[in-house]
């Protein structure tokens, strides 16, 4: 029979049932203790949380050999693992991922303060024994995950715009994985914060809302470039974005976009944030949450990591591609924008390029500067058709750097316009081309 | 494997009456999760979940039941060293106590043990049902073959509060003296 591997027993490493650890002191006295979770680090290593300097920890520092007893949460089968302590990590992806998860578990049990993670103790797995005894039949393996990831990947590969790529992932999360609440956030590399470009399941889309790098599960997943998955959590957890601290007002341009509320659930029980990487860079975060406990398993995490990887690659490629002007095919067929008698005052605040439509906040930053340029050209010269390339070359917009995702800014602007009632819209007319539709008289005003 | 150990006692020290508080005796007596550990000559630890446990009303003697086939190394270590550590933990509250001894008696389970094992099983079913694990799961987790069962009896020499938190591991000051 094939030896049991750590991957075979991943359901035991989800923190559903506490595990047990036996250690031995230098004088030969054994010790046995409960562990809230044994963490899967990689196929040959597990990690245990170091929270207190207890007997187990004293013992393993003196004698690195320990034995774990795991219980399968579905079959009730036991597994014994011979493990050897190697080292302790106090920073980095695994540590932050465990810390986030532990904070969720601890706040769940009402002991958030005492459960601060001091370190992640890494152990090598020397042997795994399936303990003889009765077991319930294992539930059938979850089928179709590879298939759905494949379909998502195929659609992403066929996507010719960032918009379509984002929609593909959002649709897969909703229709194929049955996830009720999801968001995609992209990284602003200059300001080092994430902005929401797509969401599903919330009363307000929250498109344009911002999160600091390193803050909460989303910010931590981006900063540490690691998936963060919390299976139990409460709104007491500092990882919950719904409980937000206002950033100290240093200068207007650095203030988070608090005009647009973060859309997340007020009382999530499960959350997962997966970084989108491409060529070693963080481009954004895929985020899902649920009011149910234990909603996202390691299998969901595996699927989201694959999807986030494909979306990252697509985002990166389409960013460059979107600047190539392609002949517009939609120009002739695009319906004219309906014109009303309405009058709209558009005000720009120069300090941070924030834009207000009839005193209602719309957008700020790079997307605000783009919008202002479009309206300006429209008013001065009656222009309605524009290309990504000209925006990139326009110094007045002040795109932070060449790597900035212009296409993402346009999507943000387009979606923010769709969410407000005044007849001003942006429509794509071809690759790297779009049209401004203004169905009202506009008056431009500026303030400092 | 069939019983080489009946009635055998290993180790040298004696138990300490009064070590455990009435509260801890009640916790152990109520039928809670029970994990047994020992170690070999090279100080490599071994462990297994017990399928039953009992304590005398004065707390002087504790018995735990193990499936031999699931505890081969643990039983070999217990016979060789006599060193035993057992943690009792209430699943619903995580209240826990650990007891240790350096001498243990092993015997085969007998028909007379059946009511004790039944009582333990019912208590564990009652503990696990509210936290989402039905009787079928609990009965599988604690399944046993009478012919495969061994009983370990020991007098606790040391006891430690094991409820999770910064005080976990604190030695309990029994009337028998400090640990």
Per-residue pLDDT of chain B (179 residues; tens, 9 = 90+): 333 344 444 444 455 667 999 999 999 999 999 999 999 999 999 999 999 999 999 999 999 999 999 999 999 999 999 999 999 999 888 899 999 999 999 999 999 999 999 999 999 999 999 988 999 999 999 999 999 999 999 999 999 988 776 666 777 754 333 33
What residues of chain B lie within 8 A of the CB of A26, using their CB? 43
pLDDT at A178 (0 to 100): 95
Q: Note whether B47 contacts A80, CB cutoff 8 Å.
A: yes
Mutate to test the interface with B, among A11, A14, A22 (most CBs of B within 10 A): A22
The angle that helices A145-158 and A298-321 make with each other, rounded to 10 degrees, is 10
How many other C-beta atoms can be found within 10 angstroms of the C-beta atom of residue A228? 29
* Token duo for residue B80: 């060789």
- Nearest by CB to residue A34, choosing from B87, B143, B166, is B87
How many other C-beta atoms can be found within 10 angstroms of the C-beta atom of residue A258? 12
At A30-55, the pLDDT tens digits run 999 998 889 999 999 999 999 888 89
Closest CA relative to residue A168, chosen from A58, A315, A60: A315
CB contacts under 8 A, A 21-50 vs B, are 22-24, 26, 28-34, 36
Residue of A nearest to B98 (CA): A32
Q: Cα(B74)–Cα(B76) distance, rounded to whole angstroms?
A: 5
First CA to last CA distance, chain A: 75
pLDDT at A96 (0 to 100): 87
Minimal C-alpha gap between A158 and chain B (Å):
44
- Nearest by CB to residue B141, choosing from A20, A54, A76, is A76
pLDDT at B12 (0 to 100): 40
Minimal C-alpha gap between A96 and chain B (Å):
21
Burial of B177 (0-12, 13-18, 19+ CB in 10 A): exposed
Closest CA relative to residue A329, chosen from A423, A417, A435, A436: A435
- Residues of chain B with a CB closer than 8 angstroms to some CB in chain A: 35-39, 43-49, 67, 69-70, 81, 83-87, 89, 94, 96, 98, 100, 102, 136-137, 140-141, 143, 160, 162, 164-166, 168-169
Q: What is the total residue count of chain A? A: 448
Helix (H) or strand (E) holding A57: helix A55-62
pLDDT at A108 (0 to 100): 46
Q: Note whether B85 contacts A22, CB cutoff 8 Å.
A: yes
Domains of chain B: 15-159 (2.30.110.10)
Question: Cα dihedral angle (A148, A154, A160, A162), rounded to 10 degrees?
Answer: 30
DSSP string, B40-64: -TT--EEEEE-SEEEE-TTSS-EEE
Contact assessment for residue A77 and residue A42, using Cβ atoms and an 8 Å cutoff: no
- Nearest by CB to residue B166, choosing from A52, A55, A75, is A52
Mutate to test the interface with A, among B47, B99, B121 (most CBs of A within 10 A): B47
Q: Cα(A180)–Cα(A202) distance, rounded to whole angstroms?
A: 9
Longest Cα pair distance anywhere in chain B, in angstroms? Answer: 43
At A140-162, the pLDDT tens digits run 878 889 999 999 999 999 998 99
Minimal C-alpha gap between A298 and chain B (Å):
20
- Nearest by CB to residue B46, choosing from A22, A26, A132, is A22
Please list, in sequence order, all residues whose beta carbon lies within 8 angstroms of the beta carbon of residue B115, skipping any fewer than 6 positions away: none
Minimal C-alpha gap between B56 and chain A (Å):
22
Closest CA relative to residue B9, chosen from B60, B71, B84, B116: B84
Which residues, in sequence order, are bridge partners of residue A274? A286
- Sheet containing A181-188, strands listed edge to edge, beginning at the edge strand earlier in sequence: A210-212, A193-200, A181-188, A281-290, A270-278, A228-230
What residues of chain B lie within 8 A of the CB of A111, using their CB? 164-165
Minimal C-alpha gap between B149 and chain A (Å):
12
pLDDT at A318 (0 to 100): 86
Burial of A26 (0-12, 13-18, 19+ CB in 10 A): exposed
Q: Note whether B98 contacts A54, CB cutoff 8 Å.
A: no
Using a CB–CB cutoff of 8 Å, tell me whether A398 touches chain B. no
How many other C-beta atoms can be found within 10 angstroms of the C-beta atom of residue A320? 10
Q: Give average pLDDT by consecutive 10-residue segment, chain A, 448 residues.
A: 89 92 97 92 96 90 98 96 98 89 59 70 98 92 88 94 95 96 94 94 94 87 91 57 39 58 86 94 96 92 96 88 58 60 91 92 92 94 91 77 77 94 91 91 93
- 3 state DSSP class of A435: strand
- Nearest by CB to residue A22, choosing from B37, B70, B141, is B37
Using a CB–CB cutoff of 8 Å, tell me whether A20 touches chain B. yes
Using a CB–CB cutoff of 8 Å, tell me whether A84 touches chain B. no
Mutate to test the interface with A, among B39, B76, B79, B135 (most CBs of A within 10 A): B39
pTM for this one? 0.84
- 3 state DSSP class of A428: strand
Q: Note whether A132 contacts B69, CB cutoff 8 Å.
A: yes
């Amino acid at each position: 029979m094939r030896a049991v591997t750590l991957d075979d027993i991943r359901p035991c490493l989800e923190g559903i049932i506490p595990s047990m650890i036996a250690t031995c002191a230098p004088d030969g006295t054994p010790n046995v203790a409960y562990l809230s979770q044994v963490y899967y680090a990689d196929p040959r290593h597990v990690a245990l949380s170091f929270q207190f300097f207890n007997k187990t920890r004293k013992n393993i520092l003196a004698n690195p050999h320990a034995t774990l007893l795991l219980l399968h949460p579905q079959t009730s089968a036991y597994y014994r693992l011979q493990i050897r302590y190697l080292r302790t990590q106090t920073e980095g992806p695994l540590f932050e991922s465990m810390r986030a998860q532990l904070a969720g578990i601890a706040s769940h049990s009402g002991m958030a303060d005492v459960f601060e993670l001091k370190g992640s103790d890494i152990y090598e797995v020397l042997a795994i024994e399936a303990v003889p005894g009765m077991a319930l039949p294992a539930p059938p393996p979850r089928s179709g995950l590879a298939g759905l990831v494949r379909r998502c990947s195929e659609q992403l590969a066929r996507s010719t715009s960032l918009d379509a790529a984002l929609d593909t992932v959002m649709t897969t999360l909703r229709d194929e994985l049955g996830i009720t609440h999801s968001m995609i956030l992209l990284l602003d590399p200059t300001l080092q914060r994430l902005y929401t470009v797509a969401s599903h399941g919330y009363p307000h889309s929250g498109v344009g809302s911002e999160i600091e790098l390193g803050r909460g599960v989303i910010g931590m997943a981006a900063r540490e470039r690691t998936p963060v998955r919390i299976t139990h959590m409460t709104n007491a957890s500092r990882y919950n974005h719904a409980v937000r601290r206002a950033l100290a007002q240093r200068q207007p341009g650095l203030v988070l976009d608090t005009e647009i509320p973060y859309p997340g659930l007020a009382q999530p029980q499960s959350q997962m944030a997966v970084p989108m990487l491409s060529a070693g860079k963080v481009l954004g975060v895929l985020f899902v949450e649920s009011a149910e406990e234990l909603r996202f398993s390691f299998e969901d995490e595996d699927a989201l990591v694959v999807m986030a990887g494909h979306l990252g690659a697509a985002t990166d490629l389409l960013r460059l591609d979107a600047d190539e002007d392609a002949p517009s095919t939609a120009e002739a067929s695009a319906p004219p924008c309906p014109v009303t008698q309405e009058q709209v005052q558009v005000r720009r605040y120069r300090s941070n390029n924030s834009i207000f439509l009839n005193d209602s906040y719309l957008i700020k930053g790079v997307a605000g500067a783009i919008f202002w340029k479009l309206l300006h050209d429209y008013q001065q010269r009656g222009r309605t058709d524009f290309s990504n390339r000209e925006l990139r070359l326009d110094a007045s917009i002040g795109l932070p750097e060449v790597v900035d995702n212009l296409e993402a800014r346009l999507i943000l602007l387009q979606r923010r316009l769709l969410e407000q009632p005044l007849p001003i819209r942006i429509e794509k007319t071809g690759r790297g081309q779009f049209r401004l539709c203004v169905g009202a008289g506009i008056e431009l005003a500026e303030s400092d | 494997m069939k019983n080489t150990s009946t009635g055998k006692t290993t180790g040298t020290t004696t138990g300490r009456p009064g070590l455990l508080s009435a509260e801890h005796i009640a916790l152990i007596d109520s039928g809670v999760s029970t994990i047994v550990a020992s170690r070999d000559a090279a100080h490599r630890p071994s462990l297994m979940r017990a399928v039953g446990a009992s304590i005398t009303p004065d707390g002087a003697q504790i018995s735990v039941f193990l499936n031999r086939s699931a505890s081969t190394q643990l039983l070999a270590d217990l016979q060789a060293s006599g060193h035993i550590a057992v943690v009792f933990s209430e699943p619903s509250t995580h209240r826990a106590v650990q007891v240790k001894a350096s001498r243990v008696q092993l015997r085969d389970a007998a028909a007379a043990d059946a009511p004790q094992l039944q009582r333990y099983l019912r208590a564990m079913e009652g503990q696990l049902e509210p936290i989402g694990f039905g009787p079928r799961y609990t009965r599988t987790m604690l399944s046993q073959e009478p012919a495969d069962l061994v009983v370990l009896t020991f007098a606790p020499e040391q006891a430690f509060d094991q409820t999770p938190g910064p005080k976990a591991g604190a030695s309990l000051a029994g009337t028998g003296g400090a640990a």
